[in-house]
Amino acid sequence: MHELATTQSLVQICTEAAAREGFKKVKEIRLHIGAYSGIEPNYLREFFPYVSKDTVCEDAELVCEMVPGTLRCNDCGYEGQAGKIYECPRCGGSIRLISGREFFVDSLAVE
């Protein structure tokens, strides 16, 4: 269940940012979640209230922005949205994932 660890590191990131930048409370956390990151937003939302208790993130709203992956053809350079194609629609070549595994904090709303 790596979402628990992910949620813990998320709270850790916010706590460090709060210490560095001097805010006391996080109201909203906007996350960028690649479709192939393996992160399941429902689990994040489930763990978050427990993990964030008594931290700067307590009661913060999690905004999960799901971002589809991008594939690129190894042969002709065609790019397309992952999940819809399994081989290059232009030349039939093999494709690889060039984005969609990322997961990061996009922005924090603080006070």
Q: Which is nearer to Zn ion, 12 or 94 (CB)?
A: 94
Q: In the Cβ-directed half-sphere of 5, how many Cα atoms lie within 13 Å?
A: 3
As measured in angstroms, the least distance from the Cβ of 34 to Zn ion is 22
Residues in contact with Zn ion by the rule CB under 5 A: 73, 75-76, 78, 88, 90-91, 93
Q: How far is the CB of 70 from Zn ion (least distance, A)?
A: 14
Name the residue among 60, 62, 5, 71 with its Cα closest to residue 35: 71
∠ Cα 14 18 24 (to 5°)? 110
Q: Which is nearer to Zn ion, 59 or 75 (CB)?
A: 75
The least CB distance from residue 93 to Zn ion, in Å, is: 4
CB 72 within 8 A of CB 100: no
